């Protein structure tokens, strides 16, 4: 029996089912609409971000933003990429435009707070929360995304048309700047209210159209391409190889044709790259943790030019100060390999698993979380402070 495509959340089951059922039946497989999944967004509650603040963010230098206007009469699309000038919103029509800002979770703690609803997924699998504000009729057209996405209605109502058929036609229009589908035949037509959530696996055609002005929160996943992973792994392995290790041919015989790459040359090339043999877990996980925490970094934290001593840091935290994750820092850890490692934006730091998990889990760490932890943790924290991935904030944790 095909699993239901529309369910209603309950207080105990925010996805309308246990997370394990969702992952088994829907994740990367088929769309799902969950009515009332995010109760704090249902009408009458304060929004995690107001439309005006979103517009302000779209004008900041660091923001990845787009303003998309649809000219319905000609079906033309106008795309303006941010950072947007403050007057970008002057003279916009009453309807048919959308403002989209990526990475809003990095800059807004309340928006980042929505991520707690997705704690059943590995955090490093989540890319960002994009927030869009759409005027009535606002849309970005019918398209597919390469990544899984959870579309959450935050304010206003929005109509979502979805094609859940097995082999949709994915041919793209070539007359517009946006990647839009040439053909789109919806199998489902839903109106989402605030608090409703629509999950879409990669490659499912969809088209959202605002019925009234509203906000949509898109929790997007990260899925590096196999090509990206391979290039990064090759670079990682190459770093460990000394310049002195080279292609050698002490057994060279006179060339029958000086331009030929013969089978002996190929065998020597193969022998020069033993890393194409299966890799042990220890090297693979050291690379993967670095790669996943560095992948698609939108920017870097500023490193400190002074060296923090572990005991000095401990004293600072005893005085009530706390350490906050930098918004651009990505944290992960692993106990695989020959020693447990904490990964932060490509850094791989030896750290016992319990403490590595603690540092990842708390986006703010104070003495209340760190008291009684093994001494080794302070050197790791000091290193992260010097790298800018943790930064001190005032607290009352003394």
From Co ion, ligand SIN, none, interface partner of 348 (C-beta below 5 to 8 A by class): none
49 in contact with ligand SIN (CB under 6 A): no
- For 15, phi and psi rounded to 5 degrees? -95, 5
Residues 6+ apart with CB under 8 A from 187: 162, 163, 164, 165
State the nearest-atom distance from the C-beta of 44 to ligand SIN, in Å: 22
The residue from 218, 293, 345, 387 that contacts ligand SIN (CB under 6 A) is 218
Per CB under 5 A, which region of 80-88, 143-151, 188-196, 299-307 contacts Co ion?
143-151
For the CB of residue 163, give the shortest distance to Co ion in the complex, in Å.
Answer: 12
Sign of the torsion formed by the C-alpha atoms of 201, 202, 205 and 206: positive
Candidate segments 14-22, 132-140, 249-257, 340-348, binder of ligand SIN by CB under 6 A: 132-140
Q: Which stretch binds Co ion (CB under 5 A): 108-116, 141-149, 253-261, 296-304?
A: 141-149
Distance CA 149, CA 96 (A): 23
SS3 78: strand
Rule CB under 6 A: choose which of 67, 140, 209, 313 binds ligand SIN.
140
Q: Is 163 in the site for Co ion (CB under 5 A)?
A: no
Considering beta carbons, is residue 192 or 288 the nearer one to ligand SIN?
192
208 binds ligand SIN (CB under 6 A): yes
Tell me whether residue 108 or residue 145 sits nearer to Co ion (CB atom). Answer: 145
Q: Which is nearer to ligand SIN, 131 or 285 (CB)?
A: 131
Least spacing, CB of residue 389 vs ligand SIN, in Å: 29
149 binds ligand SIN (CB under 6 A): yes
Question: 287: closest CA among 277, 295, 296?
Answer: 295
132 binds ligand SIN (CB under 6 A): yes
232 binds ligand SIN (CB under 6 A): no
Which of 98, 135, 334, 355 forms a contact with ligand SIN (CB under 6 A)?
A: 98
Does 135 interact with ligand SIN (rule: CB under 6 A)? no
Considering the complex, state which of residue 215 and residue 341 has its C-beta at the smaller distance from ligand SIN: 215
Size of the site for ligand SIN (CB under 6 A): 11
Containing 360, the helix (H) or strand (E) segment is helix 353-361
| Packing angle, helices 353-361 and 376-387, rounded to 10 | 40
Diameter over CA atoms, the chain? 84
Contact by Cβ (8 Å): 214, 157:
yes
Residue 194 C-beta: closest distance to ligand SIN, Å? 14
Query: Taking CB positions, which residue lies at the least distance from ligand SIN?
Result: 132
Is residue 156 within the footprint of ligand SIN (CB under 6 A)?
A: no
Work out the burial of residue 97: count CB atoms within 10 Å of its CB; fewer than 13 is exposed, 13-18 middle, 19 or more buried. buried
Pairing relationship of beta strands 206-210 and 6-8 according to DSSP bridges: unpaired
Kindly state whether residue 145 participates in binding ligand SIN, applying the rule CB under 6 A: yes
Query: How many amino acids of this chain bind Co ion (CB under 5 A)?
Result: 1
DSSP per-residue string spanning 317-341: HHTT-EEEE-TT--EEEE--SSS-E
Closest to 141 in 3D by CA, of 68, 197, 204, 33: 68
User: What number of other Cβ atoms are within 10 A of residue 218's Cβ?
Assistant: 22
Q: Is 102 a residue that touches ligand SIN (CB under 6 A)? A: no
**Cβ distance 285 to 369 under 8 Å?**
no
Give the residues lining the site for ligand SIN (CB under 6 A).
98, 100, 132, 134, 140, 145, 149, 206, 208, 216, 218
């Amino acid at each position: 029996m095909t699993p239901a495509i529309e369910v209603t959340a309950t207080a105990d089951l925010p996805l309308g089912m246990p997370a394990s059922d969702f992952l088994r039946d829907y994740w990367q497989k088929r769309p799902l609409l969950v009515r009332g999944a995010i109760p704090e967004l249902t009408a009458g509650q304060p929004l995690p971000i107001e439309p005006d603040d979103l517009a302000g963010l779209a004008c900041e230098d660091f923001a990845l933003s787009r303003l998309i206007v649809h000219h319905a009469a000609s079906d033309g699309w106008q795309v303006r990429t941010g950072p947007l000038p403050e007057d970008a919103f002057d003279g916009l029509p009453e309807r048919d435009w959308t403002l989209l800002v990526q990475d809003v979770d990095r800059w807004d703690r309340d928006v980042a707070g929505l991520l707690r609803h997705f704690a059943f997924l590995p955090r490093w699998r989540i890319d960002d929360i994009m927030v869009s504000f759409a005027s009535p009729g606002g849309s970005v057209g019918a398209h597919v995304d390469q990544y899984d996405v959870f579309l959450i209605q935050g304010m206003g109502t929005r109509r979502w048309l979805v094609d859940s058929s097995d082999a949709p036609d994915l041919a793209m229009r070539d007359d517009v700047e946006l990647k839009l589908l040439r053909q789109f035949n919806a199998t489902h037509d839903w109106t989402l209210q605030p608090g409703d959530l629509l999950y879409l696996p990669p490659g499912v055609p969809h088209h959202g159209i605002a019925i009234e002005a509203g906000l949509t929160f898109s929790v997007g996943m990260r899925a590096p391409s196999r090509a990206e992973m391979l290039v990064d792994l090759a670079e990682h392995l190459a770093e460990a190889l000394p310049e002195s290790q080279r292609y050698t041919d002490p057994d060279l015989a006179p060339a029958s044709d000086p331009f030929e790459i013969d089978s002996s040359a190929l065998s020597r090339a193969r022998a020069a790259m033993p890393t194409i043999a299966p890799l042990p877990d220890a090297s693979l996980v050291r690379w993967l943790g670095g790669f996943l925490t560095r992948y698609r970094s939108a920017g870097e934290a500023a490193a400190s030019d002074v060296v923090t001593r572990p005991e000095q840091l401990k004293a600072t935290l005893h005085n009530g100060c706390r350490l906050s994750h930098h918004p651009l820092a990505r944290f992960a850890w692993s106990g695989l390999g020959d020693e447990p490692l904490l990964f932060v934006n490509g850094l791989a730091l030896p750290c016992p698993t319990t403490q590595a998990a603690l540092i990842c889990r708390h986006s703010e760490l104070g003495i209340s979380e760190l008291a009684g932890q093994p001494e080794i943790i302070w050197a790791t924290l000091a290193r992260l402070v010097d790298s800018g991935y943790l930064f001190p904030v005032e607290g009352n944790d003394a």
